[in-house]
Amino acid sequence: MFGTGKSNGVRSVDVDWRKLTGLLEATDQRAAVKQSFPDVGQESFMSALRRIDPPTASEVMTAGNAWQGATELVSYPVIAIAGMLNSGKTSLVSTFLSPQGRTRTLRGVGNAQGTHRFVLWLPQRWRSDPSLWDLLQERLAETFGHAPEALADSPEKAHRQYSNRDGGKDSLSIPLVATDPALDTAGVGLLDCPDIVSDEILGLGSPGDRRKVLGRASTLCSAFMVVASAEQCRDVTLGELMRIAGDLMPGVPRMLAINKVRSREQLPHQVFQTFQPMMRHHQVEAIFAAYDFDVASNAPFIPRGLHNSVAPPLEDGEDLPIFFKLSERADQNPPNGISTDRLLVSLPRKLDRGELFERFRAALASNVRTAIWDKGRERILQELSTQEERLRNARACMTKVGLDVFAQRGDGGGIERLRLHQNQRIVEQLTVTFANTAPWYARWSVGLSTKYRRVVGGAGDWFRKWLPTQALEDKAEALRGRLRRGDYGSLMTPEKLQTLIRQQAETHPLAHWEDNSPWSEACRTAIHRYDRDDFTALDPYELEEACRDMWSKVSWVEKGKLTSIPLLVLLTAFTAVLMLPLDMGATVLASASISELLAASGLTAAASIWAGGKTTSLVEQQAAKQQFVDLIAVLCDTFGIPRETKAPRIRIGKEDVKLPDPKIALRGPIGPTLAIRNWSDAFESDLRKMLDLPSNTPSR
Ligand SMILES: Nc1nc2c(ncn2[C@@H]2O[C@H](COP(=O)(O)OP(=O)(O)O)[C@@H](O)[C@H]2O)c(=O)[nH]1
Ligand SMILES: [Mg+2]
């Protein structure tokens, strides 16, 4: 509705809403959001917004449709009349109506509980054009979310509708519509808004709800008038209503009507002075006043005869407030004579339709921009950055868990070295290489020659066959005991993994996993996958060198006696690790540094030599770093977190170490996933162009 459709003179930057919705709904290359995980794809602006914030999504659509609709209803302005209970809104509307129409309004009496309906009074003429009438009904239904209801012709029924005696809370959003021939001359519609009450005692929707509906209704109106009785002038609601009007329909004319003024208390120019600050603050264009008709001494201030000459005359005994435009100057107000064009009832004829429409259209266009750019886009960007934050946290959580497993920490808590996952391949390598490089005197107890190769693939068998003494068997048992207790290295079972993840998630939340997500299954799967897919091996040449180095030092340290570490004891240490899953009857990841293994077997001298050597730590750390990033990768895969794209760095000892890229096979998630979505810059610049936003509008 509203404003005249002067095709010339009106800036023709009208947005093509259909084209704009095309962009907002685009799911192709032009889409607003690009997803790269778990699948590659696009999401449109609107579907992202509907997912994230449905109310804002519908606000965008409503604003767009209102804008589009406005261009079709340009010649049909409506003025919103809002204010508090008993301020005289309905009385004000009535001054425009025919005597018959006045009887259908509900004023004061019987109205003690306030009006909870929007009542739209339209010129009778508008109804005679069926296509216009349909358009109006459509637009009303869209604005309020409900089809309008006709106001009954019979005063009694109409009053019941006004006071909502038969309806519930929802009737707030079912507008009543009536037409009146007297409005044909005015050529405007008047929207009598529900009373703004300052509490919820009526049980008919919270004040917040009312304001929301009022906001929606205001998008129908090309001017906004706030009515207040003189004694309500200090009420904060007044300013708030002005603010709502300004926020919701920026640029649309706002006016103030002060009712029930008493001449003994305030003369017209004093009323003007009282409201002048508010007028400036809220860019109120005009202040009207009406003196209390029940007070005899007010008579000189009520331009009654004047009113009857331009508006439907008041019948005898019928009293309605008669509003006139206040002047700043005392001598230009009643009791001095004023002209009819100062009367509020003359306002519609004086409104500049072209300007009214342009401001109305601009307000609606600005609502569209605000809804799309400031609200919708902001919400999506906010969501995307929350998502990014979640991703950072989830990855950090898994990295910390990886460290819990792999980091061997010093007394100060710093990471001294990374442990090795003692996979079968590594245990085999260690066994073979230590045996191959062992000096003759270390082999005395073992007839191993070539048979040690059978170790691999059958740790249990091997032990049964090759542990020749009870003493060694006890040693192996003791070692396994220490590993199981966690005195050395780390043993990871599904249960322990779950505990670790949950612990780390306290500081780095795994937001996409809920309590009822498949935790146990995922933890079991992660351990199983890692155990199966980790094929990391030690560098064979460097390992051999490291082993030789160690043997020579062990022998050197103990050379006085020439009794060195028996090879068998050493091999016991390595192979005991492989038996752990058998012991524990579960999938378990054993990780321990080589020196931890040696120490756990009681080979302290060997342990410290290994730990202190440069070659030894080099060969070990190379494999350990790979295993560490691979474990994080498996945890990420399993918990639906996209793997890190650039290798992280960690501090080991005094060095800042760059980690390698994971090599372990990529596998699917067990349970919820965390998507990677990004805002499209191309979309942003398309949108900016379509909304006709200057290029210096703040972007992300
Ligand atoms: N005494 C007096 N009462 C008025 C005047 N204007 C309106 N009223 C009364 O104030 C009451 C509330 O008016 P109404 O138009 O229903 O206010 P609304 O609640 O804002 O719609 C009614 O009883 C009116 O008759 C006035 O100028 N003087
Ligand atoms: Mg009322």
> What is the tens place of the pLDDT at every residue in 220-261?
888 999 999 988 877 778 888 888 888 888 888 999 999 999
> Is the C-beta atom of 94 inside 6 A of ligand 1?
no
How confident is residue 154, by pLDDT bands cut at 50, 70 and 90? very high
- Nearest-5° angle of CA 322, CA 328, CA 332? 65
Q: What pLDDT does residue 459 have?
A: 45
- My answer on whether 462 and 601 are in the same domain is yes
**Amino acid letter for position 554:** V
> Is the C-beta atom of 475 inside 6 A of ligand 1?
no
Whether 570 maps to a domain, the answer reads: yes
Q: Backbone phi, then psi, for 304, in 5-degree steps?
A: -65, -50
Residue 549 to residue 165: CA distance in whole angstroms: 97
Helix (H, G, I), strand (E, B) or coil at 256: strand
Whether 374 maps to a domain, the answer reads: no
Cα 614 to ligand 2 centroid, rounded to whole Å: 90
- My answer on whether 326 and 412 are in the same domain is no
> Is the C-beta atom of 111 inside 6 A of ligand 1?
yes
Report the nearest atom of ligand 1 relative to the CA of 320. 6
Whether 181 maps to a domain, the answer reads: yes
Q: Helices marked H in 536-603 — which ranges?
A: 540-557, 567-584, 594-600
Q: Which residue has the higher pLDDT, 119 or 467?
A: 119
pLDDT score of 1 more than 50: no
Q: What pLDDT does residue 406 have?
A: 93
Helix (H) / strand (E) element for 421: namely: strand 420-421
| Residue closest by Cα to atom 17 of ligand 1 | 88
Q: Are 33 and 680 in contact (CB under 8 A)?
A: yes
**420-421 vs 284-291, strand pairing mode:** unpaired
> Is the C-beta atom of 87 inside 6 A of ligand 1?
yes
Q: Are 44 and 24 in contact (CB under 8 A)?
A: yes
Q: At what angle do helices 567-584 and 424-437 cross, to 10 degrees?
A: 170
- Tokens 């399993």 identify what position? 638
Whether 690 maps to a domain, the answer reads: no
Residue 187 to residue 348: CA distance in whole angstroms: 7
Domain around 580: 386-678
Helix (H) / strand (E) element for 576: namely: helix 567-584
Residue 257 to residue 297: CA distance in whole angstroms: 21
Whether 11 maps to a domain, the answer reads: no
Distance of alpha carbon 307 from the chain centroid: 55
Q: Ligand 1 pocket check: which of 81, 87, 89, 91 to mutate, most ligand atoms within 8 Å of Cβ? A: 91
Whether 22 maps to a domain, the answer reads: no
**Domains identified in the chain, total number:** 2
pLDDT score of 682 more than 70: yes
Residue 427 to residue 590: CA distance in whole angstroms: 11
CA distance readout (Å), 474 to 502, 571, 577, 579: 37, 14, 14, 14
- My answer on whether 343 and 394 are in the same domain is no
pLDDT score of 417 more than 70: yes
Average pLDDT over residues 359-377: 91
Whether 397 maps to a domain, the answer reads: yes
Residue 504 to residue 632: CA distance in whole angstroms: 13
Report the nearest atom of ligand 1 relative to the CA of 91. 15
- My answer on whether 339 and 422 are in the same domain is no
| Closest ligand, as measured to the CA of 84 | 1
pLDDT score of 377 more than 80: yes
Q: Which residue has the higher pLDDT, 447 or 106?
A: 106
Helix (H, G, I), strand (E, B) or coil at 249: coil
Mean pLDDT across the chain? 86
- My answer on whether 501 and 632 are in the same domain is yes
Q: Are 602 and 472 in contact (CB under 8 A)?
A: no
The enclosing domain of 274 has a CATH number of: 3.40.50
Report the candidate in 407, 424, 396 with the shortest Cα–Cα distance to residue 635: 396
Report the candidate in 387, 377, 384, 383 with the shortest Cα–Cα distance to residue 24: 377
| Residue closest by Cα to atom 25 of ligand 1 | 108
How confident is residue 114, by pLDDT bands cut at 50, 70 and 90? low
pLDDT tens string 381-399: 999 999 999 999 999 999 9
> Is the C-beta atom of 83 inside 6 A of ligand 1?
yes
Structure tokens at 225: 């008038």
pTM, two decimals, is 0.71
How confident is residue 586, by pLDDT bands cut at 50, 70 and 90? low
pLDDT score of 14 more than 70: no
Average pLDDT over residues 659-669: 96
Q: CA torsion sign, 200 to 204 to 206 to 211?
A: negative
